[in-house]
Amino acid sequence: GAVVSQHPSRVICKSGTSVKIECRSLDFQATTMFWYRQFPKQSLMLMATSNEGSKATYEQGVEKDKFLINHASLTLSTLTVTSAHPEDSSFYICSASAGDYEQYFGPGTRLTVT
């Protein structure tokens, strides 16, 4: 089946710094990728929809200037958390569509902001 990878799997950063998370579709091209956030003991919440070559569509309440999304190629989307704060600590998960019925999820990135 199709594989989606994320890098890094875990990251710890200091408050005020920026962190970039990569999401790659390894064996298929993904015109659409999604970014989700999951706080402890909660469900996944969609942050934004990323379309290759165009601006991402953000969900209500998600700051686009804080969570920068770039989808420059059909196999790579990046999420940059700018000026991270402790409340941004969360599990960030990306997913991608290969055009079949299944959505393929990455393994997630656990961000801890100290």
Partner 1 sequence: DAKTTQPPSMDCAEGRAANLPCNHSTISGNEYVYWYRQIHSQGPQYIIHGLKNNETNEMASLIITEDRKSSTLILPHATLRDTAVYYCIADSDQTGANNLFFGTGTRLTVIP
Q: What residue ranges bind partner 1 (CB under 8 A)?
A: 4, 6, 31-32, 34, 36, 43-46, 49, 91, 93, 95, 97-108, 110
d(CA 80, CA 34): 14
CB of 58 to partner 1, least distance (A): 12
* 43 versus 65: smaller Cβ distance to partner 1: 43
Q: Using CA atoms, how far apart are residues 32 and 74, in angstroms rounded to an integer?
A: 8
Nearer to partner 1, 32 or 82 (CB): 32
78 token code pair: 């990046």
Rounded to the nearest whole angstrom, what is the least distance from the CB of residue 105 to partner 1 in the complex?
3
Q: Give 40 or 86: the residue with its C-beta nearer to partner 1.
A: 40
What minimum distance in Å lies between the beta carbon of 16 and partner 1?
Answer: 27
Distance of closest approach, residue 42 Cβ to partner 1, in angstroms: 8
CA 23 to CA 85: how far, in whole Å? 22
Task: Give the 3-state secondary structure of residue 88.
Answer: helix
Q: CA-to-CA distance for 33 and 101, rounded, in angstroms?
A: 14
Task: CB nearer to partner 1: give 9 or 17.
Answer: 9
Distance CA 10, CA 18 (A): 14
